[in-house]
Amino acid sequence: MNKDILTPYFTDEYTLERLSSLTNFVYKVSSQTKTLIYRDYSSIFHIFQDREKEVKFQQRLSELNLAPRILYSDNQQRLEEYLPYESVELYELRRDYLQVAKLLGEFHKLNSHQEITEIFEKKASIKVSLTQIGLQDKILEIIQNKAPQKVVDQLRSVFSNEIQSRILKLFESECLKELDLVIAHNDLNLTNFLKNKGQLHLIDFEYAGLNYPGYEIANFFSEMEWDYTFKEYPYFKISKEQGLSEDEKIKFVQTYWETYSGKDQVPQALWEQIQIGYILQNYFWLLIGALSYQFEEQQIDLEYYIKLRIQGLNQNI
């Protein structure tokens, strides 16, 4: 942390509190008169992140009162407003899942704002991420001497020509061409929701970009089964029982589509995108898990996490 950037904002003593975050270092900086959020960027996931676009996007969102104002930013860190909202428990997201559907529908309508869409490449962000030339070789090179050999071998299996061909083939699916891309958050895990007076809000937009709406919905459905606030080893918990039922998923999609499009009939293409999204999001977070071996201290049991992501990939592909 570079404490020099805090000096202009704090004239009295302050304390630092590390907040939950899986892919960067986030601190609550508090004094008797002021509280701010400090983000210390990690370069570990630079393959999939663009901090300049992230900052521009959050600045646009703050103008719409959808995100905190950024007070200072450079290529290593940023300082932003602190929103005195509360963290959310997984049971609350499950209880209020239709509120999430409406929140997502409204968020996706941001694709009507040209000043926002022009920030991002006019392609699906998950396609851009997963079709990078030499991606698998880059990842293996990065983690070769950091991850256990067992994990490296598992990745080599996932990177086989057969599995990679199947994944690339998914991007040729007609359903991905039938619906407009939306402004997507792309990381709808529990820790990226806050609540204020009963209303849910999204935070942390480091993976945001244009994407398939079905991918975003599949990501939320999947993340409803993962609890990253679990205090005991392996420091996360996964259970299909804590996720949404099939009937609830149908109601979620119907509510989302009505909010987003104003129409009652959910297009078949969206249902098909969701099925593809299960595969792509498991593969993406598997890669993020592998890259996380670069951290000196892992926040979760990465070997177990990667094993589960591979199981999820194999079950759906």
Task: Please spell the DSSP secondary structure of 19-68, one letter per residue.
Answer: PP-SSSEEEEEE-SS-EEEEEE--STTTTT--HHHHHHHHHHHHHTTSSP
CA atoms within 13 A on the CB side of 75: 3
Q: What tokens appear for 292 in the block?
A: 């996380």
**Would you write out the chain's pLDDT as a tens digit for each of its 317 residues?**
788 899 999 999 999 998 866 667 899 999 999 999 999 988 889 999 999 999 999 999 999 999 999 999 998 899 999 999 999 999 999 999 999 999 999 999 999 999 999 999 999 999 999 999 999 999 999 999 999 999 999 999 999 999 999 999 999 999 999 999 999 999 999 999 999 999 999 999 999 999 999 999 999 999 999 988 888 888 888 888 889 999 999 999 999 999 999 999 999 999 999 999 999 999 999 999 999 999 877 778 999 999 999 999 998 88
Q: What tokens appear for 281 in the block?
A: 């999001």
Residues 6+ apart with CB under 8 A from 249: 221
Burial of 156: CB neighbours in 10 Å, binned 0-12, 13-18, 19+: exposed
Between CA 193 and CA 200 the distance in angstroms is 7
Residues 6+ apart with CB under 8 A from 282: 222, 309, 312, 313, 316
Name the 3-class secondary structure at 263.
coil
Name the 3-class secondary structure at 282.
helix
Going from the C-alpha of 72 to that of each of 58, 197, 205, 223, 299, the distances in angstroms are 12, 28, 16, 31, 27
Per-residue confidence (pLDDT) for residue 21, from 0 to 100: 64
Between CA 185 and CA 229 the distance in angstroms is 20
Per-residue confidence (pLDDT) for residue 275, from 0 to 100: 98
Burial of 127: CB neighbours in 10 Å, binned 0-12, 13-18, 19+: buried
Residues 6+ apart with CB under 8 A from 266: 253, 254, 257
Chain centroid to Cα 216, Å, comes to 9
- CB count within 10 Å of CB 39 equals 23
Angle at 166 between CA 219 and CA 187, to 5 degrees: 15
Q: What tokens appear for 213 in the block?
A: 């709406």
User: Strand 226-227 to strand 209-211: parallel, antiparallel, or no bridges (unpaired)?
Assistant: unpaired
Between CA 138 and CA 290 the distance in angstroms is 11
Per-residue confidence (pLDDT) for residue 188, from 0 to 100: 97
